[in-house]
Structure 1
Amino acid sequence: MPAPPARDGLGWDDGGLYVKPIWTREPSLVDIENLCRKELRIDTGDTCAVSFRAEGAFNKLYLIEMNQGKSLLRVSLPVHPHNKTRGEVTTLRFLRDRTDVPVPEVIAFDDSSDNLIGFEWILMEMMPGVSVYKRWRTLTMFQKVALVQRVAELQTQISLKSFSKIGTLKSSDHFDYDVGRGPFRSSYDYLMSYIEIIIKDYMTAIVEAEDEEDKEDAEAALALARRLASLLPKIFPSLQCPPERTVIWHDDLSLQNILVDEQGNITAVVDWECVSATPLWVATKAPKFLEGPSREKEPVRQDYADEDSEQPSAPDGAEDELDNEGKDELYWIHLMEYETTQLRKFYHASMCHLRPGWEVQVSESSLKADFLGAVVRCGDGFHLRRIDQWVDLIEKGECPRLMDVLEEGLAVL
């Protein structure tokens, strides 16, 4: 894929499967301290300790410790100057004002790089709790059900606050393309813009291919993208009047992005960085932490091997390290699949109770959601043959679920 243009502090690594943003210079801890002292009005003699906390695809997170408490400063790369930072701030403030979703208060922000640290930043409240990912194995199933119930309640609140346009699907790294970035009036416009980006990507990849295999892969993906473009108007009308109803949808609501207290109660929902208003049919999906393969039978712990003591373990303090309690990792994978299968059912039942007509909305949205899934996977270059197979079946008037085709490899009749 072509590398986007560089900006001050931002470079691109195109040496792997994907083009990834990289920091060409590190934010200065001294400059961050000076910025925070100014914004938080901390006197020179008072404590203002800055330490690195975490890093995401586009940002670095710093912990600010003061006499009066703690805050977080998120410093962002200029992948989508002004818009991404301002969009996140607007989303957080909207949720705090209009819903009960526990999100951090924005203390101050700058959506330009013309400041003390030379990057866009958001200074926000530090929310209590730890990620439910770290506590998941210690929670009872009753506590997990209660958490899913609360997520359904919060999602219902969000979905009742609607808009009439669709935001950009992702913070685009295709700055030079002559394609629309939204806001979009209809799902058709929204998805056509996405597919146009994919087509342009693969056309460039064909020209720049280093060998015949890379060229053939790009040609296959390009052909599929064009098939999806042809299928688009059969699923989504090109004219939408009145405009579609849209809602805020957190498409990365993973266990890492939900904070809980010791009892498993939700204390915060974080990482709203690239969240936008999406068509209502997108928001009929289960949250990300409930996605995954189905497993109806609960795994029996004794049926699994003990953990190999000679197997290398994660480094001490590793972010994703969990206690396997002496059992092989496969047991925990199967247990998670079983639990999420049951919790998905409970989430759906909760939404049906909270939102009359929800079951009909989900049923009517399934093909649209699958089409979006096919477009996303086409852009990533994965499962091309099976997505082609799924398109064949749709064009024949059948309606298999995309995940069934991807997992089972259904034969085209």
Structure 2
Amino acid sequence: MSMEQKVVFTKRVATFQAELSGRGKPESLFRDIGTLDPRKVDQVDQGHDAEDLDKVSPGLLVSHEFFMGDHLYYDIPRGPFRSSHDWLSAVLNIIIVHQTAVLEKTDDEDEKEDAEEILPVARKLLSLVPKVFPPHLDEAETTALYHHDLHLNNILVNEEGEITAVLDWECVSAMPLWMATMVPKFLDEPVREEEPQRDMYMDEIPEKCNDENEGKNELYFIHRMEYETTQLRKVYNATLRELWPEWPLEESYVELDFFQAISQCDGIWVKKAGRWADCMEKGQTLRFEDLWGGGLGLKQQ
């Protein structure tokens, strides 16, 4: 695709996200966090009168955090959840239960070391959940459909670049509105504002030259992708702001960063999640993305 075609495609994905999130359509919003009950969805799809059915509503949350490996068997709430507080607390409790079980059962020293590093971070994040997400709500949190895996392999287009289908819906659920401010997977690349200049990069060695790399070193194409993705993120955000004026982007940074810290706290980036949690505990605001670039960007709350 040319850059112009990529811009058009990105705007179409933003339009899809706005529609999926119930923009301007209160009837498309839900209460509670969870995956839609497939039995009710099937009944509607099969031609039953939707008015004769109970409104399709969130049920148990189908998410890899809840069903991968031994997680399926832990005695942990699985939804529907009334609030972000309840949902994220359940995710962290799964991590804590799992890592505690690892310490008790494994003889592998590396696994023990990992668990000993993960557990204090997960526990600290759990203690901080009420600081960002209210634990008690008068009514269940407003939610909307969210597709968590919008990478290019899951978006089909025709020759004109029009979206013809979106795939991989099995884990699509009603999620908090702040989740809708996350960029799609295909736009999730490092920030690069300066356009890479082709002649500043080394040529590829003759043995690796082919039509695909056009004789240029791979690093050029990596930086080119990062630069284009950075520009396309701006297009995506601007389009959503235009279509959905109340889109809660600026208000959702802390929630998104908290979610990122939870997502990374039981993996190879646990140290970064721990640093973020330490700053949050001290009343400092640190963008999680700043941890990747080395800058702290701290602000006092």
> Does the TM-score normalized on the shorter chain lie above 0.5?
yes
What residue is the counterpart of 1:293 in the other structure?
A: 190
* Matched residue, 2:63: 170
Structure-1 separation of matches of 2:98 and 2:259: 18
For the residue of structure 1 that corresponds to 2:169, the secondary structure is coil
Matched residue of 1:246: which SS?
strand
Is the Cα–Cα contact under 8 Å of residues 153 and 354 in structure 1 kept in the other structure? yes
- The CA distance in 2 between the partners of 1:225 and 1:355, in whole Å, is 35
**What amino acid does structure 2 have at the position aligned with 1:357?**
E
- What residue identity is the alignment partner of 2:154? N
TM-superposition CA deviations, 1:2-36 (whole Å, max 9, x none): xxxxxxxxxxxxxxxxxxxxxxxxxxxxxxxxxxx
- Equivalences for residues 372-391 of structure 1 within 5 A: 372-379=259-266, 381-391=267-277
- Within 5 A, what are the aligned runs for 1:292-311? 292-311=189-208
Contact 2:148 2:184 in 1 (8 A): yes
Compute the displacement of 1:169 (Å). Answer: 5.9
Matches within 5 A, 1:244-283: 244-283=141-180
Q: Whole-Å Cα distance in 1 between the matches of residues 261 and 62 of structure 2?
A: 14
Match of 1:405 in 2: 291
Larger radius of gyration: 1
Q: Greater share of helix residues, 1 or 2?
A: 2
User: Aligned equivalents of 2:101 and 2:295: distance in 1?
Assistant: 30
Taking the aligned partners of 1:227 and 1:169, their CA distance within structure 2 comes to 25
User: How far apart, in 2, do the equivalents of 1:371 and 1:301 lie?
Assistant: 38
CA distance in 2, matches of 1:178, 1:166: 19
Counterpart-to-counterpart distance in 1, 2:104 and 2:197:
53
With structure 2 as the length reference, what TM-score do the two structures score?
0.82
Give the secondary-structure state (helix, strand or coil) at the position aligned to 2:265. Answer: helix
Residues 323 and 266 of structure 1, relative CA distance in 2, 3 Å threshold: farther
The alpha carbon displacement at 1:269 in A equals 1.4
In 2, Cα distance between equivalents of 1:164 and 1:409? 38
User: How far does residue 208 in structure 1 lie from its aligned partner after superposition?
Assistant: 2.9
AA in 1 matched with 2:287: R
| Aligned mates of 2:114, 2:100 — CA distance in 1 | 11
Partner of 2:42: none
- Offset of 1:274 from its aligned partner? 1.6
Q: In structure 2, the residue corresponding to 1:281 is in which secondary structure?
A: helix
TM score, norm. by length of structure 1: 0.60
Question: Are 1:383 and 1:406, in contact at CA under 8 Å, matched by a contact in 2?
Answer: no
Contact 1:389 1:411 in 2 (8 A): no
Match of 1:158 among 12, 15, 20: 20
User: Is 1:393 the equivalent of 2:291?
Assistant: no
**What residue number does 1:350 align with?**
239
Q: Find the aligned partners of 1:232 and 1:248 in 2 and give their Cα distance.
A: 23
User: Per-residue deviation at 1:264?
Assistant: 2.2
Higher strand share: 1
Cross-structure match for 1:339: 228
Task: State whether residues 392 and 412 of structure 1, in contact with CA within 8 Å, keep that contact through their aligned partners in structure 2.
Answer: no
Residue of structure 2 in register with 1:229 after alignment: 126
Which protein has greater RCO, CA pairs closer than 8 Å, 6+ apart? Answer: 2
Aligned-partner SS, 1:175:
helix
- Secondary structure, aligned partner of 2:32: coil
CA contact (8 A) 2:262 2:273 kept: no
By how many angstroms is 1:324 displaced?
Answer: 2.2
Per-residue CA deviations over 1:231-271 (Å, capped at 9, x if unaligned) read 11111111122211111111110111111222322222112
Preserved contact between residue 203 and residue 216 of structure 2 (Cα < 8 Å): yes
1:143 paired residue number: 5
Whether the 8 Å CA contact 1:166–1:190 is kept in 2: the answer is: yes
Aligned AA for 1:370?
Answer: D
Between the aligned partners of 1:210 and 1:409, the Cα distance in structure 2 is: 38
Letter in 1 for 2:134: P
- Paired with 2:222 and 2:286, the residues of 1 have a C-alpha distance of 27
Match of 1:182 among 69, 79, 85: 79
The offset of 1:331, in angstroms, is 1.2
Per the TM alignment, residue 217 of structure 1 is displaced from its structure 2 partner at its CA by: 2.0
With 238-247 and 164-173 compared, the bigger mean Cα shift is at 164-173
Structure 1 range deviating more: 336-345 or 256-265 = 256-265
Equivalent residue for 1:326, pick from 196, 215, 222: 215
CA deviation after TM superposition for structure 1 residue 302, in Å: 2.1
Structure 1 residue 312, shift from structure 2 partner:
10
Q: Is the 8 A contact 1:258 1:270 kept in 2?
A: yes
Partners of 1:166 and 1:309 in 2: CA distance: 54
Choose 293-302 or 213-222, whichever is displaced more: 213-222
- Aligned equivalent of 1:195, options 84, 87, 92: 92
- 1:163 touches 1:245 (CA, 8 Å); kept in 2? yes
For 2:259 and 2:298, the matched residues in 1 are separated by: 21
**Amino acid corresponding to residue 155 of structure 2 in structure 1:** I
CA contact (8 A) 1:258 1:268 kept: yes
